[in-house]
Amino acid sequence: GAVVSQHPSWVICKSGTSVKIECRSLDFQATTMFWYRQFPKQSLMLMATSNEGSKATYEQGVEKDKFLINHASLTLSTLTVTSAHPEDSSFYICSASPKYEQYFGPGTRLTVT
């Protein structure tokens, strides 16, 4: 099956620093990848749609200057949380689709202290 990886699996950082999360499709190419955020015991909330070679499309209420997305190739998208604050602590998950179904990465747990 299609495999999506994320790096790192977890990160703890101090308030005010920036954190980069990578999402890779290992055995397929993905023109589009999606970034989600999930708070404890809640559903996945779409943050943005990452398009290879063009700007990401952000959902309403998601600050594009705070959550920088770069889709450098057909197999790699990165999410950078800039000037992170404790309220940004969450589980960040990416997904990619080879055709119809979406496959999720294992997620990155971000804790901002």
Task: Give per-residue burial for 66-98: e unless 16+ CB within 10 Å, then b.
Answer: ebbbebeebbbbbbebeebeeebbbbbbbbbbe
Residue 34 in the binding site for other proteins (CB under 8 A): yes
At closest approach, how far in Å is the CB of 63 from other proteins? Answer: 18
Residue (14 or 60) nearer to other proteins, CB = 60
Residue 107 in the binding site for other proteins (CB under 8 A): yes
Element at 57 (helix H, strand E): strand 57-58
Residue 29 in the binding site for other proteins (CB under 8 A): no
Choose the stretch contacting other proteins; rule: CB under 8 A; options: 60-68, 71-79, 81-89, 90-98: 90-98
In eight-state DSSP terms, residue 5 is: E
At closest approach, how far in Å is the CB of 46 from other proteins? Answer: 5
Q: Are 47 and 35 in contact (CB under 8 A)?
A: yes
Q: Could you tell me the two tokens for 64?
A: 């594009």
Rule CB under 8 A: which of 43-82 touch other proteins? Answer: 43-46, 49
Residue (89 or 102) nearer to other proteins, CB = 102
At closest approach, how far in Å is the CB of 89 from other proteins? Answer: 14
Dist CA 54 CA 75 (whole Å):
14
